[in-house]
């Protein structure tokens, strides 16, 4: 309803991003409603609880990779089958894909994999589709600021990021020259430089 208030048509379709058949079905349903789709944003992800290296289970590892990586692969493959010349894929990774955080191995490695997948797809899908990656830093959402892992004072820009900051990066890749591909854009207020 919030999206429709902006005068934009939208459709909600539920799918488990870990399930290829559900992804393909949802993509087909979205195409029926929207017609041609020229921008895909792969944004599904999980941030599992802190787990020491020796305590990482198969279930934790597999669930993290299935959601953070496999979903992006499945949706991108479905999109690539129907995408027109000049279409865009924007993957959401994390600054955590470029850093190592103690107790966060499944998350760090899965987000590093998204970054590498983005670069690989940029080569594989050129020249029809450009593929880029956005890496958010610490983002504050309206109802969930109590568990942020970085002190605001450690961020050079002096504040946490917002959903609008991430939107601006995604919008840039969605609307900019299709010649820009394989890029990784950090949206972290300069935190990676000061860390």
Would you please indicate which residues are annotated as catalytic (active-site) residues? 107
Report the candidate in 92, 88, 103 with the shortest Cα–Cα distance to residue 137: 92
Report the candidate in 14, 17, 133 with the shortest Cα–Cα distance to residue 73: 17
Q: How far apart are CA 73 and CA 62, in angstroms?
A: 15
**161, 139 Cβ separation under 8 angstroms:** yes
Report the candidate in 75, 78, 1 with the shortest Cα–Cα distance to residue 45: 75
CA–chain centroid gap for 6, Å, is 24
């Amino acid at each position: 309803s919030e999206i429709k208030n902006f005068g934009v048509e939208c459709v909600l379709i539920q799918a488990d991003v870990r399930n290829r058949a559900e992804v393909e079905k949802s993509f087909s349903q979205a195409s029926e409603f929207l017609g041609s789709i020229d921008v895909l944003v792969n944004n599904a992800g999980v941030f599992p609880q802190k787990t020491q290296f020796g305590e990482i289970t198969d279930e934790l590892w597999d669930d993290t990779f299935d959601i953070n990586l496999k979903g992006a692969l499945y949706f991108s493959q479905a999109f690539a089958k129907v995408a027109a010349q000049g279409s865009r894929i924007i993957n959401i990774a994390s600054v955590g894909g470029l850093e190592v955080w103690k107790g966060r191995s499944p998350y760090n490695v899965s987000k590093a994999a998204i970054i590498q997948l983005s670069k690989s797809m940029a080569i594989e899908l050129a020249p029809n589709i450009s593929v880029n990656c956005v890496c958010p830093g610490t983002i504050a959402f309206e109802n969930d600021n109590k568990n942020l892992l970085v002190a605001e004072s450690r961020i050079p820009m002096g504040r946490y990021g917002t959903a609008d900051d991430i939107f601006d990066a995604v919008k840039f890749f969605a609307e900019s020259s299709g010649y820009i591909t394989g890029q990784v854009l950090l949206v972290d207020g300069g935190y990676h430089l000061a860390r």
